[in-house]
Amino acid sequence: MCGIVGYVGSREAVPLLMAGLTNLEYRGYDSAGIAAFDGTGLIVQKCVGRLSALGERLKNEPVEGRVGIGHTRWATHGEPSEINSHPHLDCTGRIAVVHNGIIENYQELRAALEAKGHQFISQTDTEVIPHLIEAALSDGAKSFEEALQTALKLARGAYALGILFKDQPDRFYAARHGSPLVVGVGKGEQFIASDVPAIVSQTRDVIYLNDGEIATLTPDGVRVTNLDGQEVKHEIVTVTLRAESVERAGFETFMLKEIHEQPRVLRNLLDKHVSPDSSVLMPGFGLSPQYFKKLNRVMIVSCGTAYHAGMYGKLLLENLTRIAVETDLGSEFRYRDPKIDPGTLIVAVSQSGETADTLASVRMAKSWGCKTLSICNVPGSTLVRVSDAVFFTDAGPEIGVASTKAYTAQLMAFGLLAIHIGLSRGEISEKDAQTLLRDLQAIPDAIHYVLRRKDSIRAIADKHHDGPSSLYLGRRFNYPTALEGALKNKEISYQHAEGYAAGEMKHGPIALINEYLPVVCICTKTRDEVYEKMISNVKEVEARHGKIIAIATDGDTAFDRLAEDIVFVPPTRDEFSPLVNVVALQLLAYYAAQARGTDIDKPRNLAKSVTVE
């Protein structure tokens, strides 16, 4: 949801800003812009469309300067257009602002500013910020810092801001409230960015600003204050992320690279959390086995793909720990006045750790006295900092907008947690735990096996990508897999796809089935009657001439005559089969999108990190 960058130092700012924005483009790609000081003053260049369009413009009209800010936009208020692109200016053209977030009271602020004679040119919420600062300066603020504090005290909502002021060409300002922002500390130069990957090739020393803080950045250093001007001391954190991990490494897209990274990501998680004698290790976890012993209710809150991980987590936790578990979408949970007592553990699942609805849910639960555990991929993210305990998914930066490796890492996290909690509560024995862990350890190789069959999956996608719609069916542990497979397909191939619990099909969606509808049926073998029920459901599809694509266990001949196409996956324990099956669905969606010619890493209308409601 918009990415911002900033630079001050002795090098040319614009190439560094553009490099940073390239790594942030996954956050939005409706328009891009930069502002920098050159010898003559404050210069702004902005362009509707991708960052490459801005790059072309800068080739023809270069901007020089050693201080600058930049922005890549996911439109919220106002259509994607040059006028609505950031940076935005005040009436005098002396103050330039880039913004990620939403100023919720912008309409009333704008009306008050217009009544004072301020001229607005865009439909954005952001434009009130430079005008508020301008107003505070003309109302007699003693310094630019004071004007900025006054302006930000009036703004309600979420923001990460980069701000240039023409009268101070040796510095820029940054501020944060509710949207992510990291300050990169270099030698004789400083950076800001919406996340670490955007600056990691320049510096690994960072400061994570807190809400309600303002940073003043000069070549000599960074000074942080609160909105009352009091200085706040910050520890400089050295991040371990490598610059190579934000590169495509020879793959045609980030998504394909990330799909292929899954075996390694999961193996690393297993190495970190499983001891040689097969017990689960929870280094620095923050919630004790005694706590889990007494726990009797868990509420999992998340959005999108992470919500599907939460649905899987519920099934696994209930099974292995016998705790009552519910799930909800962040955007529903926070407004439904749920009946939650302080003894409930809130589990938030999020790749980015910045999803607005997930964060708001966690904050709400904390205010009720609940403990919070997050399953999160981004160290230093807001979610990590507000949670009582964190399970890091350690999947590395996920750049493709459609989540893949973060999802399977979330499922693995639930697997490890469920075994750990089940053991802590005595619901499973040491021996059960060892068997479960052994079966979990087989998953990375099983995923490799699916990846090796990608050409046959591509052939199936090539055959079925054409229609307007498709249906995904699964049961029990693979019901969330069906939802996730459908989501992957619709978000990158733009083909309508619906995920359904296979047993529910008769209650409505069966009406959709005809000889043109591809129906992806997840029917890997299980130890219980679910497999047979799934076969019956597949037969119901066959009877209505649906085009069946089965995800089946290697060696299973049950679908030979039923299915038009079969993707075979290796046998795995039922509980963990979603980690493997979903990879087949990720590839199916990937190749369908490729056949349909979409921009896979940057699907239309989406942004990676949903930092607004």
Burial letters for 363-390: b for 16+ Cβ neighbours within 10 Å, e otherwise? ebbeeeebbbbbbbbbbbbbbbebbbbb
Residue whose CB is less far from ligand F6R, 335 or 516: 335
* Shortest distance (Å) from residue 597 CB to ligand F6R: 19
Stretch touching ligand F6R by CB under 6 A, among 56-64, 203-211, 302-310, 524-532: 302-310
Which member of 257, 371, 454, 608 is catalytic? 608
Say which of 2, 47, 376, 521 is annotated catalytic: 2
**Least distance (Å) between residue 182 CB and ligand F6R:** 16
Write out the binding residues for ligand F6R, residues 97-116 only, by CB under 6 A. none
Nearer to ligand F6R, 225 or 351 (CB): 351
From the number of C-beta atoms within 10 Å of its C-beta (0-12, 13-18, 19+), residue 543 rates as: exposed
Closest to ligand F6R by CB, 29 or 559: 29
In the bound complex, what is the minimum distance in angstroms from residue 78's beta carbon to ligand F6R? 22
Cβ distance 457 to 567 under 8 Å? yes
φ, ψ of residue 128 in degrees (nearest 5) = -65, -25
Nearer to ligand F6R, 202 or 586 (CB): 586
**How many beta carbons lie within 10 A of that of residue 234, not counting itself?**
18
448, 267 Cβ separation under 8 angstroms: no
d(CA 177, CA 196): 17
Least Å distance between CB 228 and ligand F6R?
Answer: 32
Taking the C-alpha atoms of 252, 256, 260 and 262 in order, what is their torsion angle to the nearest 10 degrees?
Answer: 150
Based on the shown chain and the rule CB under 6 A, indicate whether residue 588 belongs to the binding site for ligand F6R: no
Least separation in angstroms between residue 33's CB and ligand F6R is 25
CA atoms within 13 A on the CB side of 495: 29
Phi and psi dihedrals of 548, rounded to 5? -85, 125
Give min distance, CB of 556 to ligand F6R, in A.
29
Is the CB of 402 or the CB of 419 nearer to ligand F6R?
Answer: 402
**Phi and psi based region of residue 329 (left: phi greater than 0; alpha: psi -120 to 50; beta: remaining):** beta
Q: Does 356 bind ligand F6R (CB under 6 A)?
A: no
What is the closest distance, in whole angstroms, from the C-beta atom of residue 349 to ligand F6R in the complex? Answer: 7
Decide: is 352 part of the binding site for ligand F6R (CB under 6 A).
yes
Residue 608 among the catalytic residues: yes
For residue 65, with 0-12 CB atoms within 10 Å meaning exposed, 13-18 middle and 19 or more buried, which class applies?
buried
Residues 477-496 within binding reach of ligand F6R (CB under 6 A): 487, 491
Strands 221-226 and 213-218: antiparallel
Strand 345-350 relative to strand 297-302, pairing: parallel
Residues 186 and 164: beta-carbon distance below 8 Å: no
Should residue 374 be labelled a site residue for ligand F6R when binding is judged by CB under 6 A? no
Of 380, 373, 337, 369, which is closest to residue 358 (Cα–Cα)? Answer: 373
Rounding to the nearest 10 degrees, give the CA dihedral for residues 55, 56, 61, 66.
Answer: 10
Is residue 602 part of the annotated active site? The answer reads no
3-state secondary structure of 210: coil
The answer to whether residue 350 forms part of the interface with ligand F6R (CB under 6 A) is yes
CB-based closest residue to ligand F6R:
304
Bridge partners (DSSP) listed for residue 567:
551
Q: Does 358 bind ligand F6R (CB under 6 A)?
A: yes
Partner residues linked to 569 by β-bridges: 553
The C-alpha atoms of residue 175 and residue 210 are separated, in whole angstroms, by 9
Return the range that interacts with ligand F6R (CB under 6 A); candidates 48-56, 72-80, 347-355, 560-568. 347-355
Q: Which of 306, 384, 460, 563 binds ligand F6R (CB under 6 A)?
A: 306
Binding piece for ligand F6R, criterion CB under 6 A, among 6-14, 349-357, 529-537, 548-556: 349-357
Q: With CB under 6 A, what is the number of residues at the site for ligand F6R?
A: 15
Of 36-44, 56-64, 297-305, 455-463, which segment contacts ligand F6R by CB under 6 A?
297-305
Nearer to ligand F6R (CB atom), residue 72 or residue 350: 350
Residue 351 or residue 470: which is nearer to ligand F6R going by CB? 351
Of the pair 473, 487, the CB lying nearest ligand F6R is at: 487
Q: Is residue 85 part of the contact set for ligand F6R (CB under 6 A)?
A: no
Amino acid at position 198, single letter: A
The answer to whether 303 contacts ligand F6R (rule: CB under 6 A) is yes
Could you tell me the CA-to-CA distances from 452 to 426, 520, 611 in Å, in that order?
A: 39, 20, 36
Report in angstroms how near the CB of residue 307 gets to ligand F6R at its nearest: 7
Near ligand F6R in 594-613, by CB under 6 A? 609-610
Phi and psi dihedrals of 77, rounded to 5? Answer: -105, 110
State the Cα–Cα distance between residues 131 and 90, nearest whole angstrom. 5
* 213 versus 398: smaller Cβ distance to ligand F6R: 398
How many Cβ atoms from other residues are within 10 Å of residue 535's Cβ? 17
Q: Of 97, 68, 46, 95, which is closest to residue 192 (Cα–Cα)?
A: 68
Interface with ligand F6R in residues 402-461 (CB under 6 A): 402-403
For CA atoms 48, 51, 55, 56, give the dihedral sign: negative
Residues between 394 and 413 that touch ligand F6R (CB under 6 A): 402-403
Least Cβ distance, residue 326 to ligand F6R (angstroms): 18
The answer to whether residue 256 forms part of the interface with ligand F6R (CB under 6 A) is no
> What DSSP line would sit under 441-455, residue for residue?
HTHHHHHHHHHHTHH
Which tokens in the block code for residue 591? 């190749």
Among 22, 31, 85, 305, binds ligand F6R (CB under 6 A): 305
Tell me which stretch binds ligand F6R (CB under 6 A): 24-32, 189-197, 351-359, 567-575: 351-359
Residue 396 CB, shortest distance to ligand F6R, in Å, is: 14
Least Å distance between CB 359 and ligand F6R? 9
Options 355, 393, 424, 470; binder of ligand F6R; rule CB under 6 A: 355
Binding piece for ligand F6R, criterion CB under 6 A, among 134-142, 336-344, 352-360, 540-548: 352-360
Binding site for ligand F6R (CB under 6 A): 303-306, 350-352, 355, 358, 402-403, 487, 491, 609-610
Catalytic residues: 2, 608
